[in-house]
Structure 1
Amino acid sequence: MLLPQTPPLHLTYCQNIHPGETWAEHYQALATKTLGVQRALGGSAPFGLGLRLSASAATELLESSALDQGRELFQKHNLYPFSINGFPFGKFHRGPVKADVYAPDWRSPQRLKYTLELGRALAAWLPEGCEGSISTVPGSYAAWIQSKEEELVMARNLGAVAADFARIEAQTGRFLHLGLEPEPDCFLETTGQTLAFFEGSLQEGAVPEIQRLHQVSAQRALDLLRRHIGVCFDTCHVALQYENLARALRAYRTAGIRISKIQLSAALRTPPTPEAAATLEHFRETTYLHQVKALRSDGTVLSWPDLPEGIAGFPATQGLEEVRVHFHVPLFVAPSAPLASTADALDDEFWSEVRSGICPHLEIETYTFDVLPKEIHPGDMVESIAQEYRWVLQKLNA
């Protein structure tokens, strides 16, 4: 939805909460669940969409009449797509995903092809005067990148995206940008790592690629890179690093790095006690990675790659102050002690930065709905999503 802010803000929820890999499944979710959320929120104003399209669905869109089918649905129900989650390439529900969610990574021509197809689909659907954002994997899973040359391969592929999005803008007037989404245990994890990549290897690999594809100067290529490649700022992921959200946003702004999209989400947090570890047993599940980050008393962060390792490790570790778990929980949910959420990290300072116009795209993202344990499960999906909207709107209007 378009919010009456100055500068304007677009708010949506991410469709990756809905299972489905084909266009038919994505369309069904839009025509049922999304319209239900729209009705729950009043149903009259234009309703923004944060789509999730798998690689197979993206290809299908460009090879059939599906683009027109989507456009007809959007026009009929006053919907407008302005963002796509291009992070999960393939299966994202109903079976193990774990680290496969990062594959293919940005070393792969498959990831490049998928992202370019998403760009063409979004450009075809974007309303006049509305920019489009696409989020993507943070380069790769950290353990998979072993050399500087692999970083440069990723950078060259990202340069090819910037070049293609620049071509789309020149030909259609539709402005698209891609946001790499820093995530625990990934190639881009912290704000500091992301700043270093954007100022180092990304420019080193992407600028010559843009020059090659567009026959422009190095400065013009750098300008196009900064215009079309940025960061998807996930508040859950930033909080997992024990970073201050507002300071992280300002660091990107100071460095001239575009915030492509802000994803509004919360992680679990607990004291580092055996009781908390026992309570976290209810959150064990086999679909997603739930990385665990513990804050030491000296300010450093200790990591475990998934929840089982974290549950086994942190109660026996001395000198910990807090534990946070990469398990997205609805923003409005207040887990029972000893658990809590990082929703309080979205504080007044953060909302002040959001209202300032640091990024026009806001997306609620709680894809874990189907694996939430009964202790905190909200019940009805449509009402849960609508309640997250109400929570965000209340914070924005405070």
Structure 2
Amino acid sequence: MKLNHGLQLAYCTNVHRGETWAETFAALERHTLPVRRRVAPGRTYAIGLRLGQRAAAELAQRDTLLAFQRWLERHDCTVFTINGFPYGSFHGTRVKEQVYAPDWSTPERTAYTLQLFELLVQLQPPGAAGSVSTVPGSFKGFVAAEPARRAAIFRQLSVCGRAIADLAAKSGRDLHLGLEPEPCCLIETSEETVRFFDDWRNSDPAAAALLPYVGVNYDCCHLGVEFESATVALDRLAAAGLRLSKLHLSSALRVRPDAAGRKALEAFVEPVYLHQVVVGSGNTVRRRYVDLPDALADPTPSLPDDEWRVHFHVPLHAAPGAPFGDTRDHLMAALDWLQARPAACAHLEMETYTWEVLPTPLRIPIEDQLVREYAWTLDALASRGLADRALAEACAREAGV
């Protein structure tokens, strides 16, 4: 939905199952439309669409695309952003590190991403800006095993960036790609992200001209897990001249690694997604684990001030309960930063995709979770002058909060 200062807000439909276009569309009908009726009656509603490669290829068929365009018009919906991170399956099967494959060293990743931009242009009203979020270059383990990938990643980003620039000029739209820093990936911290873009520019002098089209998707969960200050991290990215393509409004688990904390974390061990763990205190990181079971199995003694931050997206609207905390303070600091610079990023997306693997006590009906997340988010935005207070209050009433 459109907010103050031209901001756009949506929830990411990667929370729903759907690898084919038929499955994706069914989820929009079953879940997105009921949420739309509850949180945005009488208003144009924005969808943060997740399309894997198969669904994108199927949607690109002429008759299918025309039917979806008519569906969007009929329901007064628009698509301003597409999640192009998972290329293949994302629910109901082991994903783990394969979520980063194919990575940006491959032409397959480039072709898929460009198809998403082509679709985005067809799904938007004239002149609208569009963003696509994507993997953080690669997984660190992939590049460690095959160092030549790094140079290949820069080459593919240059190819993709030039194509996005050409499409932006042809369509008259502001189009931009956002690489999403994530723990244990090629870019995971704000400092690594700046170095990565510097290295890209050094490898290709023409890359500097592509920075309006290739930037950063800042996921508050991921940078919170890294013990980063949102203000420092966002200032660092801005000072480096990097485009902030999108803000993912998300929150992670935090816990003291004592016996009670470790025992409680066992409920979050599951076979589908990676849940990287970063150990530290204050703004200091001591060590990282690729997945939660690795951290729980490590006998290394904890220091008295150690905290574990776990890459497990938890709902925005409620604290996870003792012994856990969450990283909503990082998200709130990012919104404070945006309040002072509302032109810095127009695309906001709530991304709590873990509903199916949440421990049962944290799981409520998915439409109710999404409505409550909208209510929480709109209240946070309205308190900063970034959204209309009446809209936030109406959503809160609908959510029963």
TM-score scaled to structure 2, two decimals? 0.91
Residue equivalent to 1:240: 225
Q: CA RMSD in A?
A: 1.6
Q: Which amino acid aligns with 1:23?
A: W
Deviation at 1:297, TM superposition (A): 7.5
Query: Does the alignment pair 1:361 with 2:347?
Result: yes
2:100 to 99, 102, 105: 102
1:241-282, Cα deviation, whole Å (9 max, x unpaired): 000112211111111100100000000000121110000111
Counterpart CA distance in 2 for 1:391 and 1:314 is: 39
1:262 aligns to what?
247
Aligned pairs (5 A) from 1:175-254:
175-200=174-199, 202-207=200-205, 218=206, 222-223=208-209, 225-254=210-239
**Structure 2 equivalent of residue 86 of structure 1:** 84
Q: Which runs of 5+ in 2 are unaligned?
A: 384-401
SS of the residue corresponding to residue 348 of structure 2 reads: strand
Task: Name structure 1 gaps, 5 residues minimum.
Answer: 208-217
Query: Which of the numbers 35, 41, 49 marks the counterpart of 1:37?
Result: 35
Does 1:168 find its partner at 2:152?
no
Partner SS state of residue 12, structure 1: strand
Which AA in structure 1 matches 2:135? V
User: In structure 2, what residue type is equivalent to 1:351?
Assistant: L
| Residues 294 and 314, structure 1, Cα contact 8 Å, conserved in 2 | no
Counterparts of 1:371 and 1:65 in 2: how far apart (Å)?
35
Say which of 261, 274, 278 aligns to 1:276. Answer: 261
- Is the partner of 1:233 in helix, strand or coil? strand
- Note the alpha carbon deviations across 1:37-83, whole angstroms, 9 max, x for none: 11111421111111000101111222342211111111001101000
Residue in 1 that maps onto 2:130: 132
- What does 1:312-327 correspond to in 2, within 5 Å? 312-313=297-298, 316-327=301-312
1:314–1:252 distance in 2 versus 1, CA, 3 Å: farther
Q: Structure 1 residue aligned with 2:20, among 14, 19, 22?
A: 22
Distance in 2 of aligned mates of 1:58 and 1:285: 28
CA distance, structure 2, for counterparts of residue 206 and residue 308 of structure 1: 40
CA distance in 1, matches of 2:180, 2:266: 28
The residue that corresponds to 2:2 in the other structure is: 2
Note if contact 1:296-1:319 (Cα within 8 Å) is conserved in structure 2. no
Asked if the contact 1:106/1:154 (under 8 Å) is kept, the reply is yes
Q: How many residues in Structure 1 have an aligned counterpart in Structure 2? A: 380
Separation (CA, whole Å) in 2 of partners of 1:327 and 1:258: 26
Letter of the structure 1 residue corresponding to residue 328 of structure 2? A
**Counterpart amino acid of residue 353 in structure 1:** W
Deviation, 1:176, is: 1.1
Q: Which residue of 1 aligns with 2:54?
A: 56
8 Å CA contact retained: 2:277, 2:291 = yes
Give 1:380's aligned amino acid: P
> What residue in structure 1 maps to residue 389 of structure 2?
none
Decide whether the 8 Å contact of 1:266 with 1:342 is kept in 2.
yes
- Quote the Cα distance in structure 2 between the aligned partners of 1:395 and 1:327: 22
Say whether 1:70 aligns with 2:68: yes
CA distance in 1, matches of 2:40, 2:327: 29
3-state SS, counterpart of residue 313 of structure 2: strand
Partner of 1:337: 322
**Aligned AA (1:186):** C
8 Å contact from structure 2 (residues 257, 308) kept in 1: yes
Residues in 2 aligned to 1:32 and 1:52: alpha-carbon distance in whole angstroms: 15
Instruction: Report the 3-state secondary structure (helix = DSSP H, G, I; strand = E; otherwise coil) of the residue aligned with 1:87.
Output: coil
Deviation (angstroms), 1:303: 0.9
How far the C-alpha of 1:314 sits from its partner, in A, is 6.8
Distance 1:27 1:297 in 2: 44
Q: Distance in 2 between matches of 1:310 and 1:280?
A: 10
**Are residues 1:374 and 2:360 paired?**
yes
Q: Is the 8 A contact 2:218 2:247 kept in 1?
A: yes
SS in 1 for 2:28: helix
Q: Which amino acid aligns with 2:201?
A: Q
Alpha-carbon distance in 2 for matches of 1:98, 1:298 = 27
Question: Which runs of at least 4 in structure 1 moved beyond 6 Å after TM superposition?
Answer: none
Amino acid at match of 2:269: R
